[in-house]
Amino acid sequence: PRRILSGIQASGALHLGNYLGALKRFVALQDEAPLFVFVADLHAITVWQDPAVLTAQTREIAAAYIASGLDPDKAVIFPQSAVPQHAELAWVFNCVARLGWLDRMTQFKEKSGKHKERASVGLYTYPVLQAADILLYKATEVPVGEDQKQHLELTRDIAAKFNTDFGRPGYFPLPEPVIQGPATRVMSLRDGAAKMSKSDPSDQSRINLTDDADAIVAKVRKAKTDPEPLPETVEGLDGRPEAKNLVAIYAALSDSTAAEVIARFGGQGFGAFKPALAELAVEALAPVTAEMRRLMADPAEIDRALAKGAEQARAIAEVTVAEVKDIVGFWRAP
């Protein structure tokens, strides 16, 4: 049976990349199959988080899920730390995954920077916890942005090795990464070679889900571009990363393709395209932002959704961990 799962880290403000690469796509999937979306607070603390900020950010991500259109009566929305089985299964997977596999993870190399001996041990085993998040629910599909591809390959490796080591072919399904649509890798507005990211020190590089209309308009107007008008064909975007990025954002926001955007704006300059893009972005994001603000003003509704989701998630997680304990040979009270 299909089961769809994904998560967003509770660290830093959400931006347009998270919205187009993840949030907006979750909403489209909630009617297709059971959908589990969680707030990855265990992952967040792999780098220092102020405790009060972490709590607020957990609620903010839950608010973003609901404000984007996820219905807590359909999707199971929960904080990762409220389901202790994530950490429990991650330990077993720490003993399945190999050091050599983790040594290849590019995200650890990027995040740990020059002084990897000062990174937390959690940052290193981060992808093992991610595998536990996914396999705990025996998820078959994981919608994510392009940057998570390597972590999903590791998840599949862990599932396969567990199944082989314990002689249980097919016990864990090998989940499919679902990396689709025009905006699987939204780039920085300041640098077409860098990913739009929470950790970019320049706020001008990204559109945050909390930005108001004026901020969005200003950021799009100042977005880096080249001096040429938009090309007449999609192929003409090759070698023009900034133009390509803005076209991809327009396509994703308008549920169309880059070809359709080019059919409409090809030959026009950025003086015409940027205001159209800004207007579209404001139109798409303003209702989400407003609903997030409303939800955050009184977190009771968010807290109720998270508590209910955690209970539903735990019911499934408990079954998997009981099975895993038997498979591994841990003693259980008869």
DSSP of 134-181, one letter per residue? HHTTT-SEEE--GGGHHHHHHHHHHHHHHHHHTT-TTSS--PEEE--S
Nearer to ligand TYM, 12 or 231 (CB): 12
Q: Which candidate in 24, 138, 195, 244 is catalytic? A: 195
Least distance in angstroms from the C-beta of 232 to ligand TYM: 27
Q: Is 281 in the site for ligand TYM (CB under 6 A)?
A: no
Nearer to ligand TYM, 9 or 81 (CB): 9
Q: Is 112 annotated as a binding residue?
A: no
DSSP-assigned letter for residue 204: G
Footprint (CB under 6 A) of ligand TYM, residues 186-215 = 186, 195-196
Which residues neighbour 256 within 8 Å (Cβ) at sequence distance 6 or greater? 182, 250
Nearer to ligand TYM, 151 or 217 (CB): 151
DSSP-assigned letter for residue 117: G
The label of the residue with tokens 């990025």 reads 245
- Extract the tokens encoding 157: 């490796």
- Strand-strand pairing, 35-40 and 76-79: parallel
Q: Is 145 in the site for ligand TYM (CB under 6 A)?
A: yes
Q: Is 163 in the site for ligand TYM (CB under 6 A)?
A: no
Stretch that binds ligand TYM, among 183-191, 210-218, 272-280, 295-303 (CB under 6 A): 183-191
Nearer to ligand TYM, 6 or 320 (CB): 6
Footprint (CB under 6 A) of ligand TYM, residues 4-43 = 6-9, 17-18, 21-22, 40, 43
Footprint (CB under 6 A) of ligand TYM, residues 104-143 = 130, 133-134, 142
Nearer to ligand TYM, 17 or 231 (CB): 17
Instruction: Judge whether 154 and 131 are in contact, CB under 8 Å.
Output: yes
Active site (annotated) includes residue 74 = no
Q: Is 10 annotated as a binding residue?
A: yes
Least distance in angstroms from the C-beta of 243 to ligand TYM: 17
Q: CA 93, CA 100: separation in Å to the nearest integer?
A: 14
Which residues neighbour 212 within 8 Å (Cβ) at sequence distance 6 or greater? 289
Q: CA 68, CA 315: separation in Å to the nearest integer?
A: 26
Q: Is 133 annotated as a binding residue?
A: yes
Active site (annotated) includes residue 24 = no
Q: Is 147 in the site for ligand TYM (CB under 6 A)?
A: yes
Active site (annotated) includes residue 195 = yes
- Extract the tokens encoding 160: 């396969």
Q: Is 309 in the site for ligand TYM (CB under 6 A)?
A: no
DSSP-assigned letter for residue 223: -
Binding string, 63-92, against ligand TYM, x = CB under 6 A?
A: ------------------------------
R_g over Cα of the chain: 21
Stretch that binds ligand TYM, among 1-9, 110-118, 257-265, 284-292 (CB under 6 A): 1-9
Measuring CA to CA, how many Å separate 120 from each of 44, 54, 97, 111, 317?
12, 17, 18, 11, 27
Q: Please choose, from the candidates 191, 173, 181, the residue with its C-alpha nearest in 3D space to the C-alpha of residue 25.
A: 181
Instruction: Judge whether 127 and 154 are in contact, CB under 8 Å.
Output: yes
Least distance in angstroms from the C-beta of 331 to ligand TYM: 30
Residues carrying an active site annotation: 111, 195, 198
Residues contributing to the site for ligand TYM (CB under 6 A)? 6-9, 17-18, 21-22, 40, 43, 130, 133-134, 142, 144-145, 147-148, 151, 183-186, 195-196
Binding residues for ATP: 9-11, 17-18, 145-147, 186, 195-199
Binding residues for L-tryptophan: 133
